[in-house]
Chain A
Amino acid sequence: MATAGDMTHTGSSTAIAGVKDFFNKNLVKILAFSLFLLLALFLLYPIVAVLLKSLKGPEGWTLKYYTVFFTKSYYFQSLYNTLILGLINTFICLVFGFCLAYMATRGPWWLRKPLKIVSLIPLVAPPYLFALSLIILFGRNGFCTKLFGMDWEIYGFDGVAISQCLAFIPLAFMMIENTLQSLNPNLEESAYDMGASEATIIRTITIPLLTPGLLKAALLIFVMTIAEFGNAAILGGRTPFLAPDTYTMITGESDFEMGSVLSVVLIAPCIIIFFIHNYLLEGKKFTTIGGKPVASEPRRITPAIMVPFTLVTLISCGAIALSFLVVLLASFVNILGVDNSLVLTNYFDFTTNYAIYNSIRVSFIAALIGAAIGVLLAYVIVRGNFFGRTFLEMVSLSGFALPGTVLGIGYLLAFSAPPLKLTGTLMILALNCVFRFIAVGVEAGISKLHQINIEIEEASADLGASFLTTFWRIVLPIMFPAFVAGFIYTFMTAIVSLSAVVFLVSPGFDLAAVKIFDAAVYGEIGIASAVTVKLVLIVMLCMATLHYITKKTQTGVAQKGVF
Chain B
Amino acid sequence: MEKAQKPVMLVLKDIHKFYGENEVLKGVSLEIPKGQLVTFVGPSGCGKTTLLRIVGGFTDATTGDIILDGRRVNDLPPNMRDTRICFQNYALFPHMTVSDNIAYGLKIAKWNKERIRTRVDELLKLVELSGFGDRMIDRLSGGQQQRVALARALAIEPKVLLLDEPLSNLDANLRLTMREEIRKLQERLQLTTVFVTHDQFEAMAISDRLVVLKNGLIEQVGTPIEIYDRPANEFVAGFVGYVNFLKAKVENVDREKRTARMSTEIVCSLEINMAQDVQTGEEVLLVVRPESVNLSISGNGCRPNCCKGVLKSYMYAGSIAKCTVEIGDKKMIIDQYNPREAERFHPGAEVDVEIPRNVHILKR
Contact = CB atoms under 8 A, between A and B. Distances in A.
A197 interface: yes
Contacts of B95: 208-209, 286
B172 interface: no
A193 B78 contact: yes
Interface string B85-120: 101110101110000000011001100000000000
Interface in B103-153: 104-105, 108-109, 152
B160 to A, nearest CB: 12
B49 A292 contact: yes
A184 B91 contact: yes
B88 A193 contact: no
B79 A187 contact: no
B316 interface: no
A186 B59 contact: no
Contact of A200 (B59, B108, B168, B169): B108
Given A189-B58, A290-B169, A194 B79 contact: yes
Contacts of B165: 291-292
B360 interface: no
Main secondary structure on B side of the interface with A: loop
Interface in A241-297: 286, 288-292, 295, 297
B42 to A, nearest CB: 14
B78 A205 contact: no
B192 interface: no
Nearest to A302: B77
B83 interface: yes
A300 B88 contact: no
Contacts of B214: none
A429 B79 CA distance: 59
Contact of B89 (A208, A209, A286, A288): A288
Interface in A303-332: none
A196 B85 contact: no
Interface string A185-220: 011011111111100100011001100000000000
B308 interface: no
Nearest to B83: A193
B84 A194 contact: yes
A189 B94 contact: no
A448 B58 CA distance: 37
Contacts, number: 79
Contacts of A184: 89, 91
Q: Which of A190, A192, A204 has its CB near the most chain B CB atoms (within 10 A)?
A: A190
B56 interface: yes
B152 A187 contact: no
B79 A193 contact: yes
A194 B77 CA distance: 11
Interface in B33-88: 49, 56-59, 77-80, 83-85, 87-88
Interface in B326-348: none
Contacts of B108: 194-196, 200
A300 B74 CA distance: 13
Nearest to B138: A288
A113 to B, nearest CB: 15
Contact of A205 (B85, B93, B169): B93
Contacts of A195: 79-80, 105, 108-109, 156
Nearest to A208: B95
Q: Which of B49, B85, B91, B105 has its CB near the most chain A CB atoms (within 10 A)?
A: B91
Nearest to B59: A297
B85 A197 contact: no
B341 to A, nearest CB: 48
A204 B101 CA distance: 11
Interface in B149-208: 152, 155-156, 165, 168-169
Contact of B91 (A186, A286, A300): A186
B169 A193 contact: no
5 contacts: A186-B89, A195-B79, A209-B93, A209-B94, A297-B59
Given A189-B78, A288-B89, A290-B89, 19 more contacts: A184-B89, A186-B89, A189-B58, A189-B85, A190-B87, A192-B77, A193-B58, A194-B84, A194-B108, A194-B156, A195-B105, A195-B109, A288-B91, A288-B94, A291-B88, A291-B168, A292-B88, A292-B165, A297-B59
Query: Which 9 residue pairs across A and B have the least CB separation, nearest first?
Result: A194-B105, A291-B89, A186-B91, A290-B89, A291-B88, A186-B87, A195-B108, A190-B91, A193-B78
